[in-house]
Amino acid sequence: MATTPRADPVPAEWWERLAARLIEALVFGVFYYILFIALWGIFRTVGVLELFGGRLPGVFAWVLAGLGYTVYDWVTLSRGGRTFGKAIMRIRVEPARLGARDRLKRVLGYPAPAIVMGIPVLNLLAGMYVFAVGLLILIDKPLQRGPHDKLAGTLVVKDHS
């Protein structure tokens, strides 16, 4: 069962959370483009590049990069609650050590929905969901918790240690 975070830590500001995710998005964007180029070459070699209007390498690359990002987020939550973006921004997820079930709840709430952002039609729904998560973080005062935080019983806090 999810535990409620302690009230004494200072919640991270929305812009700190956004900056941490943008830092990670840059790295995973590079990962996506490397996958895209590799998959484009593979699909071209085996003669299936033109299936689905040539979108197949992009869809596969996005799904794999999104899945990689989701697994990365799940693993880093088990190691002190910091992704590299959060470490750079000096914020962390509390409680720092979550059980596997609570980590799964959090990543299924976000970033897992981004996996489908490379798939036509689903990309619109996933984009709207990710946008809504950001809005909900902004309006949840004073803790600024998103649905994924509430689902897992977590709070993103400033790390002054």
The answer to whether residue 76 is domain-embedded is yes
Question: What burial class does residue 31 get, using C-beta atoms within 10 Å of its C-beta: 0-12 exposed, 13-18 middle, 19+ buried?
Answer: middle
> How far apart are alpha carbons 61 and 119 in whole angstroms?
10
- The confidence score (pLDDT) of residue 129 equals 93
The answer to whether residue 124 is domain-embedded is yes
Q: Taking each helix axis from N to C terminus, what angle separates 56-77 and 14-46, rounded to the nearest 10 degrees?
A: 140
The answer to whether residue 130 is domain-embedded is yes
Enter the pTM of the model: 0.82
- The confidence score (pLDDT) of residue 135 equals 94
Radius of gyration of the chain (CA): 17
Query: How many distinct structural domains can be found in the chain?
Result: 1
The answer to whether residue 2 is domain-embedded is no
Question: 148 pLDDT exceeds 90?
Answer: yes
Query: Which amino acid, 71?
Result: V
Question: 72 pLDDT exceeds 80?
Answer: yes
The answer to whether residue 103 is domain-embedded is yes
Domain that holds residue 80: 14-158
- The confidence score (pLDDT) of residue 1 equals 55
The answer to whether residue 4 is domain-embedded is no
Return the minimum-mean-pLDDT range out of 35-49, 73-87, 96-110, 138-152.
Answer: 35-49
